[in-house]
């Protein structure tokens, strides 16, 4: 019980460290980007009075950090009255601030889009698994054969092609030429198919190679020869014993790749106009220099990534009870 409590505290401390690092880096990078949020949102015709009122309303008239650069004086202490500390004060209270552009709570805007991004990431992961498992098993059980070489070629092709190439290609074939799907949008249930395939293609290529390597390695173990000696069919040996033991490194990749899927969804959501968190971050956040929205979106993506890794640890334990966490 004590060990579990310490492990939980360690995981929670890691979560806090990552959140602090992410927020600090995003705040710093936003400050380094040229441009003024007031001008970007109010337009070039805004008067100095309008800009001053906008900055005062959103706290942009305060220093960004505890120190600010003052030319020949170097860095000077600005006190605790700064935007960085104000943001953390609100964050502790569950307040992510308000959007500069819409004046809506950032948390509400994120919650409206969060489910769409998670749905897209999970659909892409299912597509990747549906492609990788059969291809990887076929390649691993037919080492150095035509099937193995063909699956390796498909995997290499999937890794080599980025999402901004696969996406428009799928739109041209299945939306423009065949007319099976809408080229953009996220209204109809079938609209998720093209972006999910686009996002899952590269991951399926990585998983195929991983499954192949795991199957080849596990087929040489003693328990496989024992299972065959007991008269078990080759299909049962492969799918019940070999694949289960070989899934541990695959689960590792899946857990780590969920964060990559969330990040990669930004480009995919832009291509297909999928109304998710990535499109919100790209167009409404970064495009409009909406500091609070950018900070909130990146924070949610980071926390989701950490939770996915924690879930991966639990799946480890289910696949192999001998694994203990230190």
Q: What is the pLDDT of residues 216-243, one digit of tens each?
A: 777 777 777 777 777 777 777 777 777 7
The residue segments making up the domain with residue 150 are 106-319
315 has a pLDDT exceeding 70: no
d(CA 301, CA 258): 10
Q: Which residue has the higher pLDDT, 30 or 322?
A: 30
What sign results for the dihedral spanned by CA atoms 18, 20, 26, 32? negative
d(CA 49, CA 57): 12
Q: What is the number of alpha carbons within 13 Å of residue 96 lying toward its C-beta?
A: 21
Cα(first)–Cα(last) distance of the chain, in Å? 13
301 occurs within a structural domain: yes
Total residues found in the chain within this entry: 326
Q: Which of 287, 281, 288 is nearest to 262 (CA)?
A: 281
Rank 12-26, 138-152, 189-203, 299-313 by mean pLDDT and report only the highest.
189-203
117 occurs within a structural domain: yes
196 occurs within a structural domain: yes
What pLDDT was estimated at residue 264? 61
3 has a pLDDT exceeding 60: yes
Mean of the per-residue pLDDT values for the chain?
79
22 occurs within a structural domain: no
Contact between 62 and 55 under an 8 Å Cβ cutoff? The reply is: no
What pLDDT was estimated at residue 310? 72
Look at the chain and report how many structural domains it folds into: 1
Domain of 305, CATH number, reads 1.10.3720.10
What pLDDT was estimated at residue 326? 46
Indicate the pTM of the whole model. 0.77
6 occurs within a structural domain: no
What pLDDT was estimated at residue 263? 63
From residue 130, give the alpha-carbon distance in Å to each of 154, 192, 210, 251. Answer: 14, 16, 14, 14
44 occurs within a structural domain: no
d(CA 86, CA 290): 16
Q: In Å, how far from its chain's centre is CA 239?
A: 30
Query: What integer is the mean pLDDT of 249-259?
Result: 73
Work out the pLDDT band at 325, boundaries 50, 70, 90: very low
Instruction: List residues bridging with 124 in a β-sheet.
Output: none
279 occurs within a structural domain: yes
Calculate Rg over the CA atoms of the chain. 25
d(CA 75, CA 194): 51
d(CA 209, CA 290): 41
309 occurs within a structural domain: yes
């Amino acid at each position: 019980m004590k060990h579990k409590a310490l492990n939980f505290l360690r995981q929670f401390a890691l979560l806090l460290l990552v959140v602090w690092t992410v927020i600090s880096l995003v705040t710093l990078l936003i400050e380094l980007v040229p441009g003024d949020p007031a001008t970007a949102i109010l337009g070039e015709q805004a008067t100095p009075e309008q800009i001053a009122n906008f900055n005062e309303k959103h706290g942009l008239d305060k220093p960004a950090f505890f120190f600010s650069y003052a030319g020949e004086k170097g860095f000077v202490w600005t006190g605790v009255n700064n935007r960085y500390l104000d943001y953390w004060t609100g964050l502790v209270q569950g307040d992510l601030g308000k959007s500069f552009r819409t004046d809506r709570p950032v948390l509400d805007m994120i919650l409206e889009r969060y489910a769409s991004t998670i749905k897209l990431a999970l659909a892409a992961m299912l597509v990747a698994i549906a492609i990788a498992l059969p291809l990887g098993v076929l390649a691993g059980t037919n080492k150095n054969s035509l099937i193995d070489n063909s699956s390796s070629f498909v995997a290499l092709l999937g890794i080599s092609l980025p999402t901004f190439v696969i996406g428009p290609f799928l739109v041209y074939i299945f939306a423009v030429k065949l007319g099976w799907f809408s080229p953009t949008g996220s209204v109809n249930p079938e609209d998720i198919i093209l972006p999910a395939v686009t996002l899952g293609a590269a991951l399926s290529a990585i998983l195929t190679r991983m499954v192949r390597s795991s199957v080849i390695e596990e087929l040489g173990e003693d328990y496989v020869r024992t299972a065959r000696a007991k008269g078990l069919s080759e299909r049962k040996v492969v799918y019940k014993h070999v694949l289960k033991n070989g899934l541990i490194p695959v689960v590792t990749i899946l857990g780590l790749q969920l964060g990559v899927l969330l990040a990669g969804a930004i480009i995919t959501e832009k291509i297909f106009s999928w109304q998710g968190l990535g499109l919100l971050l790209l167009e409404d956040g970064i495009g409009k220099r909406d500091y609070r929205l950018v900070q909130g979106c990146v924070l949610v993506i980071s926390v989701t990534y950490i939770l996915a890794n924690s879930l991966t640890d639990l799946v480890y334990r289910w696949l192999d009870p001998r694994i203990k966490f230190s």
